[in-house]
A = this chain, B = another copy of it.
């Protein structure tokens, strides 16, 4: 596909707990071309990661000017423009990443280019709303389960920010009888993220999700806790659809299809028919199979969302966010 020269040339950055994805382009297709893309492992620590990323974007900008930068980052983030730490990661449990100032780093490296920043999950929600599984829906939730667990929500066509931004991974859920795994969240122990993130699965089983057997009992725990958490999200936000991305859903030997089938079954069991909508109580398509779905953009939901964040700085927004 020929580049669409009428769209702005965007720098898109997804900051994840495992890796950071940098990409430049005018469309999602361009963002996916290897020549337009750089991946940087996050475990090098924020200072080295920031340097590599800003240098790469500066080189791209020198080659052909970038018109806006969009950053979709794991949180918690300070998203209050009036705050001195606006655009920084704040109280994260991820070692070394507390107080990482993304906005400041780009202001120094590319002072002429405007920057938009939001959570990775709000970014991914926007990406799925513009090009994916949430097209035409103004009330939905995007969840990711990976190194951490988080959620972004759109309500009435606007991304939810409020006081800071949602932190859905830190919801509390009932413990399943017989499960004595303490959880790994340094703040809450056995919150949803503490029980069901990739590192939690690793701590529980001694194995990565990709190496777990399909009949490992850890999957059943993970699906049931996740169904409780998603049920709480249904009760709090009444979304029309839930899009679940991140690496955990790929579910190793269990497989993505069995993961989603199990999750849908456990969510229906947990809600027990109380939320009386065929979208939740119904079987198959038009029912629960269309209610909880993987992202259409796959692993690129976040980077596509970072592009939408940046586009909205320089183009008239389609609706709002």
Residues of A bordering B, CB below 8 Å:
76, 78, 90-91, 139, 151, 153, 155-156, 158, 160-175, 187-188, 190, 228, 231-240, 270-277, 279-280, 320
Contacts and interface: CB of A to CB of B under 8 A. Distances in A.
User: What's the dominant secondary structure at chain A's contact region?
Assistant: loop
A178 to B, nearest CB: 13
Contacts of A271: 170, 187
Contacts of A169: 235
A196 B231 CA distance: 18
A292 to B, nearest CB: 13
Contacts of A274: 76, 91, 167, 170, 187-188
Nearest to A137: B162
A274 B190 CA distance: 14
A175 to B, nearest CB: 6
A279 B162 CA distance: 12
Contacts of A162: 139, 155, 237-240
A171 B192 CA distance: 14
B235 A166 contact: yes
A166 B228 CA distance: 16
Contact of A76 (B153, B160, B164, B276): B276
